[in-house]
Structure 1
Amino acid sequence: MSLKNSDIPHVFLHTGDAFIGVNPTIVSTVLGSCVAISMFSPRMKQGAICHAFLPSRKEINPDKQISIQICRYVDTAIDHLLACMLRIGTRKNELEVKIFGGASGLTLSKVRAPNSFAVGGRNIQMALDSLSAIGLHPKAMDTGGNVGRKILFATHSGDIWLKRLDKQTLLKTTCHLTNKK
């Protein structure tokens, strides 16, 4: 499928946002330590994706019940995506989940940040823990490391196109993750 000549609308997903694709859409985003989580229903041919940049709302403000930007946090973003997918008629047991991002070393420095600042790894772990808590497990992942990623998500097929970016944001590797068997 050529994305450049496609009549399918394209949307850029900003940090802290989510997109629920009830109509076919190509959603793109760029990730560093942030994570993108996608959920796709093969039966309904509809998908959703979020771009979260902090592990948990409770770490930042444990007393606050409602966040203005719910998808800025991995834990609440996953809950939000699942609720939206269920609302449009999907079943939890049919969802295909994929996780991307969570890079840890995007600086040129060889100095490592203390563990409490390793946001990329904490984002990945929170995604895995939050998904497991609701009985979901990722079908595919491309996480960690020290390179950024650009992804394109087709909401109507669940396909993901991934570009790994080096420190100069040059293309290192491209792969296409498809749901076709």
Structure 2
Amino acid sequence: MSPESSVKLITLNPGDYAFGEGGTVLQTLLGSCVAITFWVPRWKFGAMCHYILPTRPSNNEHSSLGCYAEETLPAIAGRFIDMGLRADDMEIRMFGGGNMFPMQFPQKETLIGEQNIAAGRRLLKAFGFSLAEEDVAGEMRRKVTFEILTGRVQVQHGVGLNPDLMERR
């Protein structure tokens, strides 16, 4: 069996989150949404979420819990706690939160991306997690690819998502 055939690729849509191990690769596309990766190096296990908003609007009971930071991050943290893991067992990275319409929304206090970033930081801190790295804000889209076996995260910036490939680990 070739190494390529053992890779399981999972594409997260807005509001999704997933766990994986070994050869799992998680990927997503971001604008104002935020993705957070969680990697457990010693177990080659990890998770990634792609949330849309910080909190669930009071008039929306039908969206999945993955859509909102205030619901997604406690669910992921709870799973790790149930597995007996501590915050310092993981490497955590945050991506996204861009201002996709800078000409329409020039005032920072109205930006969904900035609100998403702040919510992620606040909730991660509340669970005792610290960020190893972040690539947030700005006026760009991002494609994030997380290889769970190695913990490597690749981020592509830009409209076409081809330029400025950056590798992280």
TM-score range for the pair, normalised by the shorter chain length: 0.7 to 0.9
How many residue pairs match? The answer is 167
Matched, 1:72 2:67: yes
Deviations, residues 152-181 of structure 1 (Å, cap 9, x unaligned): 011232210110013xx2523111111xxx
Letter in 1 for 2:83: I
Q: Which residue of 1 aligns with 2:40?
A: 41
TM-score in terms of structure 2 length: 0.88
Q: 1:56 & 1:158 partners in 2: Cα distance?
A: 29
Deviations, residues 77-101 of structure 1 (Å, cap 9, x unaligned): 1111111223334322211110000
Letter in 1 for 2:66: C
Q: Which residue of 1 aligns with 2:49?
A: 50
Q: 1:68 & 1:101 partners in 2: Cα distance?
A: 21
Q: 2:40 & 2:17 partners in 1: Cα distance?
A: 16
Query: Which stretch of the first structure deviates more once superposed, 80-89 or 121-130?
Result: 80-89
Matched, 1:126 2:119: yes
Q: 1:133 & 1:89 partners in 2: Cα distance?
A: 18
Q: 1:81 & 1:170 partners in 2: Cα distance?
A: 28
Contact residue 108 and residue 114 of structure 2 kept, 8 A = no
Q: Which residue of 1 aligns with 2:153?
A: 160
Letter in 1 for 2:23: P
TM-score in terms of structure 1 length: 0.82
Q: Which residue of 2 aligns with 1:28?
A: 27
Q: 1:22 & 1:85 partners in 2: Cα distance?
A: 13
